[in-house]
Amino acid sequence: MQILTLKNGGDTMIFGCHVSIRNGYFGAAKRAADFGAAAYQYFPKNPRSLSVKDFDKGDATSCKEFCQEHNLISVAHTPYSTSLTPSEDKKEITIRSLLNDLEIADTCGSVGVVVHFGSQISKTDPLASYHLMLEMLNSVLSQWNGNCLLLIENNAGTKGALGTTFEELVQVRNLTEYPEKIGFCLDTCHMFASGLWNGENTEEFFAKGEELAYFEHLKVIHLNNSKYPTGSNRDRHANIFQNGLIKEKSLQEIVKSPVVKHIPFVLETPDDEGISHQEEINQLYQKWG
């Protein structure tokens, strides 16, 4: 097993990828380590279901202990159907599902659970979506007292183009009753697709995020290239060094910025288009590590 051990305060980058839990939570951690990863992401349960999972706490605890022993950072991601702006009949099941995700991730020792920013729910009331998001966040976090954070991810701009600016992300966190229980996840494909970052405005991008204190609460970055141009609002991930429209130099400016020096970068790139995640992680360390 190839284990990458990080030195506290060192200059080693923290690269990893999404892994399956088909062999359990402990198995997922070991698989990430086999890849030479220093971080990884996983779905805490079936990614297509909001049902509450009765999970193996012993397996999750073994995962946590393994990660602590090998300085391996983990983060969970909510199922695809999770929404912070659900229909009325999906509110309670979504709240229960989010609490279940947080409990599993906390037992695994994960930094947080990633959830996408909400989408537009009203054509006449532009604030309706934000009000519902705050209601959902307050409902979930009023019942949550673990160490694991809820990590709000920026959107690519589909479904009403909400959650594409630093201002929105920071303001939603600030307006909740429990901002200390919320962090952020930044997706490079999403920020390129939405136009938040176009590959040429890196200095302005970091300056705005620092001004609004966004980066103070950033816990993980999804490192993805994009198959569509900036401003397209199309969320299609590409591999970092092939088939993507974000230039390598532009991504390097993000990855090597001192602002995000100690943030884990987790790949959500295709692993069936000519390069595996293990190979891509090796490339990242060779070029930027």
What pLDDT, in 10s, does the model give residues 249-276?
999 999 999 999 999 999 999 999 999 9
Which pLDDT score is estimated for 2? Answer: 38
Q: Using the 8-state DSSP alphabet, how is residue 170 labeled?
A: H
| DSSP-derived pairing of the beta strands 112-116 and 265-267 | unpaired
For 35-88, write each residue's pLDDT tens digit: 999 999 999 999 999 999 999 999 999 999 999 999 999 999 999 999 999 999
Which pLDDT score is estimated for 12? Answer: 87
Residue 110's domain is classified under what CATH number?
Answer: 3.20.20.150
CA distances from residue 242 to 31, 189, 226, 245, 258 in whole angstroms, order as listed = 24, 14, 10, 9, 25
Which pLDDT score is estimated for 10? Answer: 52
In a domain? residue 3: no
Number of domains in the chain: 1
Domain of 228 in residue numbering reads as: 15-288
Q: What is the mean pLDDT of residues 94-107?
A: 98
- The two tokens of residue 79 are 């199922």
In a domain? residue 21: yes
* Least confident interval from 4-8, 140-144, 234-238: 4-8
Q: How confident is the model at residue 160 (pLDDT cuts 50, 70, 90)?
A: confident
Residue 173 has pLDDT above 50, yes or no: yes
- Residue type, position 58, single letter: G
Q: How confident is the model at residue 3 (pLDDT cuts 50, 70, 90)?
A: very low
Q: How confident is the model at residue 161 (pLDDT cuts 50, 70, 90)?
A: confident
32/277 Cα distance (integer angstroms): 10
Residue 6 has pLDDT above 60, yes or no: no
- The two tokens of residue 153 are 């991810």
In a domain? residue 125: yes
Mean pLDDT of the chain: 95
In a domain? residue 244: yes
- In sequence order, what are the residues at sequence separation of 6 or more whose Cβ sits closer than 8 angstroms to the Cβ of residue 256? 288
For 122-153, write each residue's pLDDT tens digit: 999 989 999 999 999 999 999 999 999 999 99
pTM: 0.95
Q: Where are the beta strands (DSSP E) in the chain?
A: 15-18, 39-42, 73-77, 112-116, 149-153, 182-187, 218-223, 225-226, 237-238, 265-267
Q: What percent of the chain has pLDDT over 90?
A: 93
In a domain? residue 2: no
Which pLDDT score is estimated for 5? Answer: 38
Q: What percent of the chain has pLDDT over 70?
A: 96
Residue 111 has pLDDT above 90, yes or no: yes
